[in-house]
Amino acid sequence: MSHPVRDAGLGLAFLFMTVLAFDNYSRAFVYESGVTETVLGILTAVASLSGIFGSLAFPVLRKRVGISKTGLVGFGFETVCLSLCVASVFAPGSPFDPSALLPNSRMSESNNSTEAPSYLTYNISTLSGGTNVSLAEENETMTLDVPLNQSSNPEAGEEIVYTSVILLLTGIITSRFGLWLADLTVTQILQEGVEEGQRGAINGVQSSLNQSLDLLRSILIIILPTRSTFGFLIILSFIFVATAWILFSIYARRNPTPVTTPEGEQLKPVAV
């Protein structure tokens, strides 16, 4: 914690406390918002391409503006893109309901709901000739009887509004560019700015911080497991990402031109 790379490492760790990625939790939420598996698969591929473009842009930006400014671009770009996800919380079609945190509201919802918890299940298929919808959680399965052509989220006959989920997916997909830039930048800083004798300790602590923030995300998902409270997780994720940007900005201000260790300097060919 006293090493000069501390703020950069903390910035990277804070990026792990987010549900704004194509993981099981966000996929379940998107499925229940009416997006099909095929469409989400295509969008996942597009998000991967966005991340690849970020990795390709890293060496170019580093050469032109330096490692610190490259990191600022990455963290800043991700934060700006994820602001669309925050907007999706309040956009038409969002299931966000702040009153769901109230004890009475939770009890009423659990008594009236016939659905399995949102993040523990995902829609596999709807049988064309029957009325059963199969739900699976890894190796365990369960079935619920619902009318055909009825979404798992809206009430029967209610038209699905996609404005909220479009903003959410757009923010997640575009943010991959900045995420990969930020990740590569901090990884490069840890490789070049840490002495050889301390790299094991520094990287061990960094890995522990990353997993701790990821564990915090899982705990929050357990505490807020419904679609109506997913908006709180989106807002918290944005706050952590924005904080990561601030932490890296502090590092960049203190280290505008990071001092590299002898091992981190680029080797030059020796003239014979």
In contact, 147 and 156? CB cutoff 8 Å: yes
**Amino acid letter, residue 250:** I
Distance CA 109, CA 214 (A): 28
Q: Residue 161: what pLDDT?
A: 84
Q: Residue 169: what pLDDT?
A: 96
Angle (CA) 235 21 113, round 5°: 65
- Specify the DSSP class assigned to residue 271: P
- In this prediction the pTM is 0.76
Mean pLDDT of 87-115: 73
Q: Residue 104: what pLDDT?
A: 65
Q: Residue 207: what pLDDT?
A: 95
Mean pLDDT of 6-23: 95
CATH number for the domain running over 5-98+161-254: 1.20.1250.20
Q: What is the CA radius of gyration of the chain?
A: 22
Distance CA 195, CA 190 (A): 9
pLDDT tens-digit readout, 107-162: 555 555 444 444 444 443 443 444 443 333 444 434 334 333 334 444 444 567 88
